[in-house]
Amino acid sequence: MKSVYLKVLASVLALLMVMTAVSACTPIEVPSEISGESSELSASESGEESSRQGTGEDSSAVGTESTADTSVSESSEVSVETTESEDGSEAVSEDSSVEDSSVEVSEPESSDSVSDESSESEYSAPDINTGEFFPPAEGKAVAFTFDDGPSYITDKILDYCEEKGIKVTFFVVGNRVGPENGARIQRAVSLGCEVGNHSYDHPSYTSMSSSAVLNDQIGRTNSIIEKYAGACPTLMRPPYGNYTKDLAAKAGMNVIMWSVDTLDWSYRNTEKIVEHSYPKIDSGDIILMHDLYETTYEAFVIMADKLIAEGYQLVTVSELLGSEKLVDKTFYFGFGY
């Protein structure tokens, strides 16, 4: 019993001497007869601290653990002081790296998180088709658009798109979409092309009531496109370019006009289409064509080949404009938009 009492007294004495040394900031010598007992105590504390870190316990949750953390911190300071005097800066560097790493684990993660958020928020609106953020096409880019299809000419255009790895946009007429043309819409979507609404039977919207336009033309055609494309279109182009902003706002779709009119429907001559259109094309243009005529396809290939050779990207309307513009359903694009 006396032996146990002496050991306890020796341990208390050693701890008091350590705390006195810390407050005085001077190294101490531990008596040789209790050094073994002190080492055992230090190892026990170190094991408890390691166990807490391994299990992720929160020391602030329990008041007694907070006290234990303080004693461990003080013990660590003594360890650094002693190591610094005995082993030099190399040992201190190791201890410092341990402390720094515990801090740096959270700081870089927080920084990376902010960086990721800022890169996304650079474009403040998502694509209304996919919900994803994306910028307008970089570099030189144009968007070819084809109205009034689908037809067998659509197949030829899609063959060229697949061969060259480019994309275009089709504004389809609802009453021309049956099982055969529905398959063409599905193929267009599979190649990354875009499909928009161009009415059900091509009337002038300004000569109709709003309800007739919204229900019989736009709504009806949207349902047909969704059946084959797998998603409701978000872009519309009114026949003849006739619409009102009030009508567009009620439809809740982006009205996409054009900046280069090839007049392919009028010329129906490959060379004339190219001569009339190509000199007018510049980066950012939306080019109007119709996938109904052989001469349209031929002129498209000639102009597309030239543009690709000059470093242009041939993209969809959505890719050309970017998600931020497309999310605003009251934003209109027209001649020289």
What distance in Å separates the CA atoms of residue 117 and residue 68, rounded to the nearest whole number? 39
What's the token pair of residue 21?
Answer: 């040394």
Active site residues: 147, 290
Mean confidence (pLDDT) of the chain = 72
- pLDDT above 70 coverage of the chain, percent: 55
Give the domains, in start order, of the chain with CATH numbers. 2-104 (no CATH), 141-333 (3.20.20.370)
Higher-scoring residue by pLDDT: 76, 15? 15
Residue 14 pLDDT grade (very low, low, confident, very high; cuts 50, 70, 90):
low
Upper half-sphere CA count for residue 101 (Cβ side, 13 Å): 6
Residue 51 scores a pLDDT above 90: no
Q: Which helix (H) or strand (E) holds 299?
A: helix 294-309
pLDDT of residue 183: 95
d(CA 213, CA 244): 11
pLDDT band at 132 (very low <50, low <70, confident <90, very high): low
Nearest CA among 36, 18, 35 for reference residue 27: 18
Question: Which of 71 and 309 is assigned the larger pLDDT?
Answer: 309
Element (H, E) at 236: strand 235-236
Residue 28: pLDDT band by 50, 70, 90 thresholds? very low
Report the distance separating Cα 19 and Cα 221, nearest Å.
84
C-alpha distances out from residue 93 to 26, 72, 101, Å:
20, 19, 12
Helix (H) or strand (E) holding 63: helix 63-87
Question: Is the pLDDT higher at 102 or at 173?
Answer: 173
User: Which residues touch 168 (CB under 8 Å, ≥6 apart)?
Assistant: 143, 144, 145, 146, 157, 161, 193, 194, 314, 316
| Tens-digit pLDDT profile for residues 186-240 | 999 999 999 999 999 999 999 999 999 999 999 999 999 999 999 999 899 999 9
Q: Region 137-144: what's the mean pLDDT?
A: 91
Q: Is the pLDDT of residue 85 over 50?
A: no
Residue 137 has pLDDT above 60, yes or no: yes
Give the mean model confidence (pLDDT) for residues 259-272: 97
Q: What is the pLDDT of residue 10?
A: 64
**Mean pLDDT on 80-84:** 38
Which tokens sit at 173?
Answer: 């007429």
